[in-house]
Amino acid sequence: MLRTIVKSERVLKITFGISLFIILCMGGFAYKHVRKLVDSFNLVEHTYEVNVQLEQILSYLKDSETGQRGYLISENTEFLQPFFSGRENTNNTFARLKQLTKNDTVQQNNLKKLNTLIDKKLKALDQILTLTNENKLNSKQFNALLIEDKKIMNEIRSKVSEMINHQNELLKERKKLSTESLSNTPIIIYSVLILMLLLLLLTYFRINKNLKILKFKNGQLEVFKESTNQSEIVNKHSTWTYFTEENRYEFSDNLYRLLGEQPQSFEPNLENFYQFVHPEDVNHVTEQVTKMMETENLPFLYYRIVQKNGTIRHFKAYAKVLVSSEDNTRRVLGTTADVTEEVQSFKLLEERNLELERNNKELSSFNYVASHDLQEPLRKIQTFISRLEDKEAASLSEKGILYLDRIKKAATRMRLLIDDLLQFSRTNKSEEAFAVTNMNIMLENAKQELAEMISEKDAKITADAIPMITVIPFQIQQLFTNLIGNSIKYSKKNTPPIITISYSKVKADDVLKLKKPKYNYYHKIVFTDNGIGFEQEYAENIFVLFNRLHNKNEYSGTGIGLSICKKIVENHQGYIFAEGKINEGAIFEVFLPLK
Amino acid sequence: MYMDKKILKSFFLSVFLFAIMSCDNNNNGKTEEDNLKNKEDKITRNQDDAKLFVTATENYIRLINYNNYLKTKDSLTVETKFFLQSLNNEIQNRLSNLKKVSKDELILLPSKDEVLFLDKIDSVHKSEKDYLIKLDEMLDKQLSVMENLIKKSNNIKMNVLANETEDFLKAQKENVKKIISKR
C-alpha cells in the first residue's frame, strides 16, 4: 500500500512539475509574442513619427523662406519672426530626429548631410538679409545668392525625400512584420489556451484518480486501525511511539487499559508511566528506557506494573526505530504486552515438568528394579523345573509331564518378557554419551549377533556403505539387531529372507512425513524385506509396547522389539516409519539427524 | 505544514526558466511609460543642449564684436588692446571648436549676432574701466552658459568643451579684474 501511495505521489509531483514548467514556458512564449507585437506596432509608429519630423523641418524652412520674402516685399520686421525662430525649431526637430534614428546609421548619415545643407541654407538666408539691409537688392551678388538658396533648398527637399523614402521602406518591412505577428497571435493564444486546458484536465483526472485511491486506502486504514484496536484488546498488547526529535510519546488506548486506566486519561509521558511500574523494577526500566533514547533501540524488557487497585501485572516490551522515507524523521515504535497469564502458565509448567521428571525417574527405577528382581524367583522356578525333569520325571504321570512342560514354556516366555522389559527400561535412559560411530561395524555386529538365525533361515542381507554418524553406539547396534531380527522372524515359510539395507542423505523439507524437523538434513537408512508384511493400517500400532499383529504360537516374540526401536530413534531425535503389504514384505525407514 | 522540497525546487526552476524565456533584452525591466519618458527626456536634454550651444555661440559672437569695437576706442591703453586682441583670438578658436562639435551633434548655429547695439554705446564717453566692466559682465554671462552646460548636458564632447571653456573664461575674468584694479 505504502509503495502505491509513494508511487502515486511521485507521479503527481512529476505531473505537477511538468505542467508548471509547460504552463510557464507557454506563458513566457505568449508574453514574448505579445511584446514582439507591441514592438512592431511601436516601430511602425516610430517610422511615422520620423516622417512627420522630416516634414516638419521642411515646413520650418518654408516658413523661414516665406517670412524672408514677406520682409523683402514689405520691409516689415514682423515677417522675420518665422526666420528667427526657424533655427531653434529646426534644432529641436534635429534633436528629436537624432534620438529617433539613433539605431539607423543610414538615417544618421543622412541627418548629418541634411544638417549641413540646412546650415548652408540658413547662412544664405542670413546673407540675403544682410544684403537687403545694405540696400543691395538688385546686385549680382544678391541674385547669385537667391539662385544658390534655391539650389540648396532643392537639395534639402531631395534629401528629405530620400530620408522619407528610406523610412517608407522600413515602414513596409515593419508593417509586414506586425501583420505577421498579428495574424499569428490568435493561433498562439488558442494553442496556449488549449494546451493549458489539456494540462488542467490531465491534472484534474490524475488528482481525481489519486483522491479515489486515497479514499479507498483511508477506508482500509480505518478498518486496519479498528482491527488493530480489537487485536490489542483481545491479545492484551498495546503500542506506543516515541518521537525522538520532539521528545514526545504517544500511547495507544489499550496501553491505558492494560494499566487499568481509561484510554487517554493522562498525558502520555514517562513520568506518568513510571507511577505504574513496580517499585522493584523502576530502576531497571529507567535504565533501559534511557538506553533506548540513546541507542534508539529497546531489546525485550520484562517488568511488572501495579494497577491502582493493587493488581500486579507482568509486562513485556520491545521497541524498534523507524526512519521515515519521506522526511527522514526518526520514531521508536514500541509494543507492550501483558504476559501475566504466560508467566503464570510458565511457572505452572515448570512445576509440572519437575513433577513429571521426578515421576519418570521413579517409574524407570521401578521398571528396572521390578524386572531385575523378578528374574531371581523366575530363575529358581526354572532351576527347580530342571531338577524335576532330571530327577523326578520317571515318577510323574503322563499328565504331570505335560503340565511340567507347560510350566517350563511359560517360565521361558516369562524370562523373555523380563529380558525385553529390562532392555526397554535401559533404552529409556537417554543420557548415554553420543559418539562418532562407524555404522558399518554396528551393522556387522548385529549380523554376528543374529548369525545363528541368519544361517538357519538362509537369509541374505545386502547393505549400502553407511557413513560415520554421531550416535549412541550400543543403542544403534540394538536398533539394527531388532530390525534385521524382525525381518528374519516374519519371513515367509519356505522362502529364504532377503533383506536390503540402503542409505541416502535427505533434506528435511523434501520429506513431508517428517513432522517439525529440528535439523535441515537427515541420514535415511531403509530396511526392506520380502517377508509376510502387514496391513498398512497397523503401521503405527506395531511400534506400541506389547502390541503384536500375530498369534504368539504362530510367531514368537514379546511385542517390545519395535517399541525399543522407536525409543532408540527418538533418543537420537530421529524418526522411524513402517510400510507394509501382506505377503509382499515390509519397509522400515529410519531418519537420523545429520549434525 | 510540511512543504516538499522537490516541489519547491521544481517551482523555483520553472520560475527561473520563465524569467529567462520572457526576459526582454531591450527592456531591462522597464515599463513602456518609462521607456517613453526616458526617450522624451533625452530629446528634451538634446534640445536644451542645442539651445545652450546657440546661446554660447551668440555670446561668443557678441564678445568678438565687442572686442573689435573696443579696439577702436582711444581711451584704452595699448596693453589692454593687446590683451583684447589675444582674448579675441582665443575666443575665435573656441568658437570654431564649438562649431565642430555642433556639426557632429547636428546643431545649427547662428553665423552672426542679430542684436545690433554697438553703435549706440559710443554716444557717451566711457573710461577703460567702464568698457572692461561691461566685458567682464559679458564673460560672466558666457561663464553661466558654460556652467549650465556642464550641469545639464550628458554629452561627453559638449561637457569637455564646456569644462575647458569654463576654465578659460575664469582665467580671462581674472585678467580683466586685474586690469580693472590697476585703473
> What is the 8-class DSSP label of residue B92?
H
Do A112 and B97 contact (CB within 8 A), yes or no? no
Question: Three-class SS of residue B34?
Answer: helix
Strand order in the sheet with A460-463: A460-463, A498-507, A521-528, A585-593, A575-581
Is residue A544 situated within a structural domain?
yes
Instruction: Indicate the residue of B43, B105, B108 with minimum beta-carbon distance to A87.
Output: B108
- Based on the domain organization, do A42 and A183 belong to the same domain? yes
Q: What is the pLDDT of residues A360-415, one digit of tens each?
A: 788 777 777 777 778 888 888 889 888 888 888 888 888 888 888 888 888 887 88
**Residue B150 in grid coordinates:** 556642464
ipTM exceeding 0.85, yes/no: no
pLDDT score at B39: 83
Q: What is the pLDDT of residues A108-140, one digit of tens each?
A: 899 899 988 988 888 888 888 888 878 887 888
- Based on the domain organization, do A285 and A172 belong to the same domain? no
d(CA A504, CA A467): 10
Say if the Cβ atoms of A91 and B15 lie within 8 Å. Answer: no
Do A58 and A90 contact (CB within 8 A), yes or no? no
Our CA-based measurement puts residue B11 at a distance from the nearest CA of chain A, in whole angstroms, of 7
| Single-letter residue type at A350 | E
Is residue A231 situated within a structural domain?
no
Is residue B27 situated within a structural domain?
no
Q: Would you say residue B121 has pLDDT above 60?
A: no
Range of the domain at B138: 48-105+117-183
Instruction: Output the domain CATH number for residue A312.
Output: 3.30.450.20
Our CA-based measurement puts residue B146 at a distance from the nearest CA of chain A, in whole angstroms, of 19
Do A542 and A585 contact (CB within 8 A), yes or no? no
Q: Would you say residue A161 has pLDDT above 70?
A: yes
Q: pLDDT band at A577, cuts 50/70/90?
A: very high
> Which A residues in the span 59-118 are in contact with B, Cβ-Cβ below 8 Å?
84, 87-88, 90-92, 94-99, 111-112, 115-116, 118
Q: Would you say residue B117 has pLDDT above 50?
A: no
- Based on the domain organization, do A65 and A158 belong to the same domain? yes
Is residue B151 situated within a structural domain?
yes
- Based on the domain organization, do A48 and A124 belong to the same domain? yes
Say if the Cβ atoms of B108 and A130 lie within 8 Å. Answer: no
d(CA A434, CA A474): 10
| Single-letter residue type at A335 | T
> Which B residues in the span 53-92 are in contact with A, Cβ-Cβ below 8 Å?
54
CB of B101 less than 8 A from some CB of A: no
Q: Give the total number of structural domains in chain A.
A: 4
Say if the Cβ atoms of A38 and B17 lie within 8 Å. Answer: no
Instruction: Output the domain CATH number for residue B56.
Output: 1.20.1260.10
User: For residue B110, which residues of chain A lie inside 8 Å, CB to CB?
Assistant: 87, 126
Q: What does R_g of chain A's alpha carbons equal in angstroms? A: 60
Place of cell 513431508: A512
A528 has which bridge partners?
Answer: A500, A587
CB of B25 less than 8 A from some CB of A: no
Instruction: Indicate the residue of A21, A25, A91 with minimum beta-carbon distance to B107.
Output: A91
Nearest CA among B53, B57, B75 for reference residue B134: B75
Range of the domain at A559: 432-593
A550 has which bridge partners?
Answer: none
Is residue A213 situated within a structural domain?
no
**DSSP characters over A83-102:** HHHHHHHHHHHHHHHHHHTT
- Based on the domain organization, do A377 and A484 belong to the same domain? no
- Based on the domain organization, do A587 and A446 belong to the same domain? yes
Q: pLDDT band at B3, cuts 50/70/90?
A: very low
Cα–Cα separations (whole angstroms), residue A182 to A51, A171, A185: 24, 16, 5
Nearest CA among A568, A571, A575, A577 for reference residue A592: A575
Instruction: Output the domain CATH number for residue A376.
Output: 1.10.287.130
User: For residue A81, which residues of chain B lie inside 8 Å, CB to CB?
Assistant: none
- Based on the domain organization, do A332 and A372 belong to the same domain? no
Is residue A458 situated within a structural domain?
yes
User: For residue A126, which residues of chain B lie inside 8 Å, CB to CB?
Assistant: 110-112
Is residue A505 situated within a structural domain?
yes
Is residue A218 situated within a structural domain?
no
Q: Whole-number mean pLDDT of chain A?
A: 86
Instruction: Indicate the residue of B21, B50, B108 with minimum beta-carbon distance to A29.
Output: B21
Is residue A519 situated within a structural domain?
yes
User: For residue B106, which residues of chain A lie inside 8 Å, CB to CB?
Assistant: 94-95, 97-98, 111-112, 115
Could you tell me what percent of chain A has a pLDDT over 70?
A: 96
Do B23 and B79 contact (CB within 8 A), yes or no? no
Is residue B24 situated within a structural domain?
no
pLDDT score at B164: 92
Instruction: Output the domain CATH number for residue A537.
Output: 3.30.565.10
Is residue B95 situated within a structural domain?
yes
d(CA A22, CA A97): 43
CB of A530 less than 8 A from some CB of B: no
pLDDT score at B119: 46
Q: Select the more confidently predicted residue: A234 or A22.
A: A234
- Based on the domain organization, do A355 and A487 belong to the same domain? no
Nearest CA among A498, A540, A502 for reference residue A524: A502
Is residue B32 situated within a structural domain?
no
- Based on the domain organization, do A391 and A334 belong to the same domain? no
Say if the Cβ atoms of A99 and B111 lie within 8 Å. Answer: no
Say if the Cβ atoms of B14 and A24 lie within 8 Å. Answer: yes
pLDDT score at A590: 94
Is residue B16 situated within a structural domain?
no
Our CA-based measurement puts residue B67 at a distance from the nearest CA of chain A, in whole angstroms, of 22
Q: For chains A and B, count residue pairs whose Cβ atoms are closer than 8 Å.
A: 95
- Based on the domain organization, do A481 and A512 belong to the same domain? yes
Preferred mutation among B26, B108, B113, B158 to probe A, highest tally of A CBs within 10 A: B108
**DSSP characters over A21-45:** HHHHHHHHHHHHHHHHHHHHHHHHH
- Based on the domain organization, do A424 and A376 belong to the same domain? yes
* Angle, CA of B128, B131 and B133, to the nearest 5°: 105
Q: Whole-number mean pLDDT of chain B?
A: 81
Cα–Cα separations (whole angstroms), residue B55 to A93, A117, A265, B149, B164: 18, 21, 97, 11, 17
Is residue B153 situated within a structural domain?
yes
A590 has which bridge partners?
Answer: A525, A576
Is residue B83 situated within a structural domain?
yes
Is residue A482 situated within a structural domain?
yes
User: For residue B27, which residues of chain A lie inside 8 Å, CB to CB?
Assistant: 35
Q: Among A83-92, A305-314, B123-132, whose mean pLDDT is lowest? A: B123-132
Instruction: Indicate the residue of B13, B18, B103 with minimum beta-carbon distance to A27.
Output: B18
Strand order in the sheet with A312-323: A248-251, A237-243, A330-338, A312-323, A298-306
pLDDT score at A574: 93
Q: Can you say whether residue B123 is alpha, beta or left, with left for phi > 0 and alpha for psi between -120 and 50 degrees?
A: alpha
Neighbours of A141 (CB within 10 A): 12
Q: Give the total number of structural domains in chain B.
A: 1
- Based on the domain organization, do A350 and A323 belong to the same domain? no
- Chain centroid to Cα A222, Å, comes to 22
**DSSP characters over A166-224:** HHHHHHHHHHHHHHHHHHHHHHHHHHHHHHHHHHHHHHHHHHHHHHHHHHHHHHHHHHH
Say if the Cβ atoms of B21 and A122 lie within 8 Å. Answer: no
Do B164 and B152 contact (CB within 8 A), yes or no? no
Q: pLDDT band at B38, cuts 50/70/90?
A: confident
CB of A6 less than 8 A from some CB of B: no
Q: Would you say residue A438 has pLDDT above 70?
A: yes
Instruction: Indicate the residue of B43, B103, B111 with minimum beta-carbon distance to A95.
Output: B43
Q: Among A60-64, A84-88, A262-266, B152-156, whose mean pLDDT is lowest? A: A84-88
pLDDT score at B34: 82
pLDDT score at A8: 66
Q: Would you say residue A552 has pLDDT above 80?
A: no
User: For residue A116, which residues of chain B lie inside 8 Å, CB to CB?
Assistant: 103
Say if the Cβ atoms of A87 and B51 lie within 8 Å. Answer: no
Preferred mutation among A68, A99, A131 to probe B, highest tally of B CBs within 10 A: A99
Sign of CA dihedral A99, A101, A105, A109: negative
Q: What is the pLDDT of residues A65-107, one digit of tens each?
A: 888 888 888 878 888 888 888 888 888 888 888 888 888 899 8
